[in-house]
Amino acid sequence: MLTMTQVVAEHTALGDADLAWLKGLVNEWHLLADVSFSDLILWVPDRDDSIFWAAAQIRPTTGPTALEDDVVGDDISYDPEHMVTAAYLSEAICATSDNQLSAGIPVDIWAIPVMREGRCIAVVERHTNQMGVRAPGALEDAYLETADVLADMLYHAIFPIEPPSDPTFSPKVGDGLMTLTLEGTITFASPNAVSAYRALGHTSDVVGEDFRALTQSLVGGLQEVGQSVGTDLAARRAIETEVSNAGGSVRLRIIPLSRCGEGLGTLVLCQDTTDLRMQERQLVTKDATIREIHHRVKNNLQTVAALLRLQSRRIDSPEARNALKDAMGRVQSIAVVHEILSQSYEEVAVFDDVADRILRNVGDVAASSGQVMARRDGTFGLVPADAATSLALVMTELCQNAVEHGLESSSGEVVVRPQRLDGALVVDVLDAGSGIPEDFDTRHTRSLGLSIVRTLLEDLGGSFELSNRVDGPGARARILVPLKC
């Protein structure tokens, strides 16, 4: 589907400033569509001003559509009788209320020139489905009165209002709507708006109340609310804020209204965000609890590693002492993962940090003599928390194996080379030792470390291979782990 930017670039002579203005209009015109119960189409003039192109379209969320088909990219060519052409040439709002039939449906049509700096840069065509028109009532009357005001503001280049709303967070018409007099007295409140203020603790009718005084009495001393119905609105600027108390939360978007450039009153869109904020607080509490658990697990594991270190110093058997050192290295690797996770709100680990800490310990834990330089060449990226512990253990075992057997516990270098390939993490652990004997078979080895590696990788759905390097002396241990992040 064509975008407005594409249509404007391909067919019109409009400049960047005009396009920016139209983008701002399209960002806000859901207001006009919903309060008028109408479909809107934005028509922009071709370089030949007898041709117009549909650049954007929106349907109402408050009523039935009048246009079943998408029309963006369609054109009106050399049709002087068309209402869009008439509105553009006359620079005046054109309307019909004779229920023209569109696909068998009676439709009222308006054409509103989009004026900017004294010239018409586009036309908004408004289609209202009269067959499904809502029964008249206070809500419908208030909506339609607001629609007339917004149409006038659009014509006088006062709409859209700045700053723009956020399509994700800002309240919409259906969330709750109130209208205020120029002095700030509430003249209408939709049922959802009344419910929003009920969440703040207001129990009586809001119509007739002073909006500023009412809101401040519920949330206590909020200066923004008072300013927004005073000086700021006179400057034609919208205010968006959130008010809350112990009972609930409400997000407000306060929009100044005017007719023919003169201040008329205020439109307030309000959304009850009580449940949303409660969920956010629960998530924050949950995140904090999880981080505290990781922190305590890390502390406990460090205590275990310290006990193993003490125990190893009191054992005379070299074999038993080495076994305790290996166990201490595994415990420390798991502790590193929990320490990293305790510092983040995310359920992923920045595994480069984990790997670097493990590599710093490799020489001290695995080498009995000489000096071992262990380094990382490449990046692991993010690793899911449920895979990080297993991956840390696998890396520890392979690095210890490279030092003890590849370098034969003497001086040398171990390189860990991670990379992402087709949704998988591939890690090579390289040494520059004597290599692997030709008759060595990893499937029949009695090595506890390699058994741990195979078991953990099977749980992760990964694979493991051990071979001699092709780029020089030494061995290469390669693991492949499928990852989602």
DSSP string, 69-126: S--TT-EEES-TTSHHHHHHHHTS-EEEEEEEEETTEEEEEEEEEEEETTEEEEEEEE
Please choose, from the candidates 61, 262, 58, 68, the residue with its C-alpha nearest in 3D space to the C-alpha of residue 143: 61
Asked if the model's pLDDT at residue 56 lies above 90, the reply is yes
Contact 393, 368 (CB under 8 A): no
Please choose, from the candidates 451, 414, 433, the residue with its C-alpha nearest in 3D space to the C-alpha of residue 326: 451
Dihedral in degrees, nearest 10, Cα atoms 315, 319, 322, 328: -70
- Indicate whether this model's pTM tops 0.85: no
pLDDT-derived band at 338, boundaries 50, 70, 90: confident
What is the rounded CA–CA span in Å between residue 416 and residue 393?
14
Whole-number pLDDT of residue 16: 94
Question: What number of other Cβ atoms are within 10 A of residue 58's Cβ?
Answer: 17
Residue ending a domain, among 80, 112, 135, is 135
Domain-located, residue 158? no
Whole-number pLDDT of residue 230: 42
Domain-located, residue 207? yes
Domain-located, residue 318? yes
One-letter amino acid at 394 equals: V
Domain-located, residue 164? no
Contact 61, 174 (CB under 8 A): yes
Residue ending a domain, among 89, 110, 135, is 135
DSSP string, 9-50: HHH----HHHHHHHHHHHHHTHHHHHHTTEEEEEEEE-SSTT
For the segment 398-417, what is each residue's pLDDT rounded down to a tens digit? 888 888 776 776 778 888 99
One-letter amino acid at 473 equals: P
User: For 437-441, what is the mean pLDDT?
Assistant: 71
CATH of the domain at 297: 3.30.565.10
Across all residues in the chain, what is the average pLDDT? 84
Angle at 114 between CA 108 and CA 115, to 5 degrees: 140
Q: Are residues 118 and 195 in the same domain?
A: no
DSSP-based three-state secondary structure for 264? strand
Angle at 110 between CA 79 and CA 100, to 5 degrees: 75
CATH of the domain at 121: 3.30.450.280
Least confident span in 83-87, 265-269, 446-450: 446-450
Domain-located, residue 162? no
SS (HEC) of 162-203: ECCCCCCCCCCHHHCEEEECCCCEEEEECHHHHHHHHHCCCC
Rounded to a whole number of angstroms, the distance between the first and last alpha carbons of the chain is 30
Asked if the model's pLDDT at residue 171 lies above 80, the reply is yes
Q: Are residues 128 and 265 in the same domain?
A: no
Please choose, from the candidates 271, 230, 268, 228, the residue with its C-alpha nearest in 3D space to the C-alpha of residue 251: 271
Residue ending a domain, among 110, 135, 160, is 135
| Token digits of residue 249 | 């939360």
Query: C-alpha distances in angstroms, 235 versus 114, 154, 160, 199, 257?
Result: 21, 17, 13, 31, 11
- Tell me the backbone φ, ψ of residue 403, rounded to 5 degrees: -75, -50
What is the rounded CA–CA span in Å between residue 192 and residue 272?
8
Give percent of the chain above pLDDT 90.
Answer: 36
The more confidently predicted of residues 68 and 46 is 46
Domain-located, residue 415? yes
- In terms of average pLDDT, the best of 218-222, 265-269, 279-283 is 265-269
Q: Are residues 332 and 404 in the same domain?
A: yes
Whole-number pLDDT of residue 232: 42
Q: Are residues 61 and 187 in the same domain?
A: no
For the segment 62-108, what is each residue's pLDDT rounded down to a tens digit? 988 888 889 999 999 999 889 999 999 999 999 886 556 555 567 88
What is the rounded CA–CA span in Å between residue 361 and residue 300?
19
Asked if the model's pLDDT at residue 31 lies above 50, the reply is yes
Expressed as residue numbers, the domain containing 427 is: 277-482
pLDDT-derived band at 192, boundaries 50, 70, 90: very high
478 membership: H or E segment, kind and range? strand 475-482
Buried b (16+ CB within 10 A) or exposed e, 253-278: bbbbbbeeeeebbbbbbbbbbbeebe
Q: Are residues 216 and 230 in the same domain?
A: yes
Please choose, from the candidates 140, 137, 143, the residue with its C-alpha nearest in 3D space to the C-alpha of residue 267: 143
Q: Are residues 204 and 83 in the same domain?
A: no
Contact 39, 60 (CB under 8 A): yes
Bridge-based pairing of strands 51-58 and 75-77 is antiparallel
What is the distance, to the nearest Å, from the Cα of residue 344 to the centroid of all Cα atoms in its chain? 18
Q: Are residues 192 and 123 in the same domain?
A: no
Query: C-alpha distances in angstroms, 181 versus 156, 210, 267?
Result: 21, 9, 9
**Alpha-carbon radius of gyration of the chain:** 34
Angle at 72 between CA 66 and CA 77, to 5 degrees: 95
CATH of the domain at 267: 3.30.450.20
The more confidently predicted of residues 104 and 275 is 275
User: For 321-349, what is the mean pLDDT?
Assistant: 75
Q: Are residues 81 and 103 in the same domain?
A: yes
Q: Are residues 303 and 378 in the same domain?
A: yes
Whole-number pLDDT of residue 364: 62
Q: Are residues 177 and 292 in the same domain?
A: no
What is the rounded CA–CA span in Å between residue 419 and residue 427?
6
Dihedral in degrees, nearest 10, Cα atoms 130, 136, 138, 139: -30
Q: Are residues 100 and 244 in the same domain?
A: no
For the segment 223-242, what is each residue's pLDDT rounded down to a tens digit? 544 444 444 434 457 888 88
Split into its structural domains, the chain has a count of 3
Domain-located, residue 152? no
pLDDT-derived band at 220, boundaries 50, 70, 90: low
Buried b (16+ CB within 10 A) or exposed e, 3-39: ebeebbeebbebeeebbebbbbbbebbbbbbbbbbbb
Contact 141, 1 (CB under 8 A): no
Whole-number pLDDT of residue 284: 64
Whole-number pLDDT of residue 436: 81
Q: Are residues 295 and 443 in the same domain?
A: yes
For the segment 110-164, what is each residue's pLDDT rounded down to a tens digit? 999 999 988 999 999 999 987 766 667 889 999 999 999 999 999 998 888 888 8
Domain-located, residue 168? no
pLDDT-derived band at 41, boundaries 50, 70, 90: very high
Give 3-state DSSP helix, strand, coil % of the chain, rounded to 5: 40, 30, 30
Please choose, from the candidates 171, 163, 166, the residue with its C-alpha nearest in 3D space to the C-alpha of residue 251: 171
